[in-house]
Amino acid sequence: MLSSRRRLALAVLLVASLAAGPFPATADAPASYTIEHAATLSPEAEAAPGTNLLVVGIDRRRGMTRERIQQLHVGGQECDCTDVMMLVHLAEDGKRMSVVSVPRDSYVPFAPHDHPQHSGKINAAYQHGGPDLAVRTVEQVTGLRVDHYLETDFSGFAEAVDGLGGAQVCTDQPLADRNSGLRLAPGTHLLDGPQALRYARARKVSPPGDLGRVRRQQRLLLGMLTRLSATDAFRNPVTLVETARTLLPQLRTDTGTDLATLFSLGWSMRELRPEQLEFTTVPMSAFDHRVPEWGSSLLWDEARAAKMFAAVREDRSFAAEITLQAVPVEMAPSTVPVRVDDPDVAEALRRNGFDVTKEQPPTTRADGPTVITYDPYWERYASTLAAALPGAQLRPVTGHGHTFRVTVGSGSRGVTQVTHDRSMVEGAPMTGEQLRCR
């Protein structure tokens, strides 16, 4: 049996021999490009510790057969824009990996290019100027240096997942999205490439929209990393070489990223545990910012986003910088009409912003927890009220109407401060330990 030192030496030789000859490219394969920061970075960003990767998935069907398009369920008009965008930071000491998802509809100023200075949705930076403009725009709005660029399209993503042995995900409720073709029963699943693509692209499942979609993409990435770690792919140098060799042909990279680079990045992750992985989404201040020619877009919460990116630049965990003191809720409390049979609880909910009507308190309080009765049609609003009443029991009753009824129990009557912040409901900082399947 080979010692770990001899396996590492063998892996280095294998990397060197493979790197000496490039992988064959198809006629449609886009060429690598050289990252040019072009004055988009501060001196602090240039000298910042750690390694940053920009990982993007492109909405592209070019070169795909009709059969492949149907298999992957990706019909429709391609936009040749970034459908997925993640910034991955590997800490200098190898003891943390931070992942920041950048929603594709984020409205940001583009880096200088061959047009008058303008802003737009960040996913269109690629459409306007390819990977160069995408990278420079990300650097400009985040203040982070991009060291490596990894790009794939629909077909390449599916093939990469298959080549790496699939991705494990889990759900506690059925997931079905007609547009992406996703159908998953409750439970834990090992997804193949086409299934993983459907999972990553689904938008019309609970929670809906881009934030829920982004969180599922994070879970998918974690599922792939977990499987690779479970097979010892990061700790066994020979296996790591083969993993990098499988992945590289499915990627478009910058000229500074090759097989040896992927090996080095994977090797630096060999000691990472789930609790040392952290995931979040850029904090948002507006979810329906209307702009002529761009339609509905997302605006970043500039103060919290700046703190988060500063933490990444300084090689620190970002969790403390953007975690809120109040509990974030998806729906504004003012949109939740409530009838409450306890004057103290009613007043506390009103101070929280809920639309409260007081009811006559009962002569005797029932034993047990507080009960929230509501029509299941208003499920998303029920979670907002439940967050303000920790320990309350949710009781859905069809036909109950729009107004929620709070029957206060004999136990705790505490009310927790909540704040309307959708980006921190699905995009709140979470560790791999919190996100992983159990």
Average per-residue pLDDT for the chain: 89
Write out the residue range of the structural domain in which residue 363 sits. Answer: 329-420
Given a cut of 80, whether residue 242 has pLDDT beyond it is yes
Given a cut of 50, whether residue 428 has pLDDT beyond it is yes
pLDDT band, residue 5 (cuts 50/70/90)? low
Are 318 and 371 found together in one domain?
Answer: no
Q: Can you tell me the mean pLDDT for 162-172?
A: 91
Q: Which amino acid is at 144?
A: L
Q: Can you tell me the mean pLDDT for 364-390?
A: 93
Q: What pairs with residue 47 in β-bridges?
A: none
Around Cβ 270, how many Cβ atoms within 10 Å? 15
Are 138 and 38 found together in one domain?
Answer: yes
Per DSSP (E only), the strands in 59-181 are 82-90, 97-101, 107-109, 119-121, 148-153, 167-171, 175-177
- Quote the percentage of the chain above a pLDDT of 90: 66
Q: Can you tell me the mean pLDDT for 353-377?
A: 92
Are 150 and 228 found together in one domain?
Answer: yes
Q: Can you tell me the mean pLDDT for 420-431?
A: 86
Sign of the torsion formed by the C-alpha atoms of 216, 218, 221 and 223: negative
pLDDT band, residue 401 (cuts 50/70/90)? very high
Are 347 and 285 found together in one domain?
Answer: no
Higher pLDDT, 402 or 21: 402
Are 41 and 64 found together in one domain?
Answer: yes
Given a cut of 80, whether residue 38 has pLDDT beyond it is no
Are 312 and 334 found together in one domain?
Answer: no
Are 288 and 340 found together in one domain?
Answer: no
- Least confident window among 15-19, 197-201, 282-286: 15-19
Q: Can you tell me the mean pLDDT for 224-237?
A: 89
Are 203 and 347 found together in one domain?
Answer: no
Q: What is the pLDDT of residue 27?
A: 40
Are 105 and 218 found together in one domain?
Answer: yes
Are 276 and 413 found together in one domain?
Answer: no
pLDDT band, residue 131 (cuts 50/70/90)? very high
Around Cβ 204, how many Cβ atoms within 10 Å? 15
Q: What is the pLDDT of residue 24?
A: 40
Are 286 and 371 found together in one domain?
Answer: no
CATH number at residue 246: 3.40.630.190
Given a cut of 50, whether residue 383 has pLDDT beyond it is yes
Angle (deg, nearest 10), helices 193-201 and 209-230: 150
Split into its structural domains, the chain has a count of: 2
Q: What is the pLDDT of residue 30?
A: 60
Element (H, E) at 290: strand 284-291
- Quote the percentage of the chain above a pLDDT of 70: 92
Q: What is the pLDDT of residue 76?
A: 82
Given a cut of 50, whether residue 23 has pLDDT beyond it is no
Are 291 and 378 found together in one domain?
Answer: no
pLDDT band, residue 287 (cuts 50/70/90)? confident
Higher pLDDT, 8 or 57: 57
Q: Can you tell me the mean pLDDT for 336-364?
A: 94
Angle (deg, nearest 10), helices 237-247 and 154-163: 160
- Least confident window among 3-12, 135-144, 289-298: 3-12
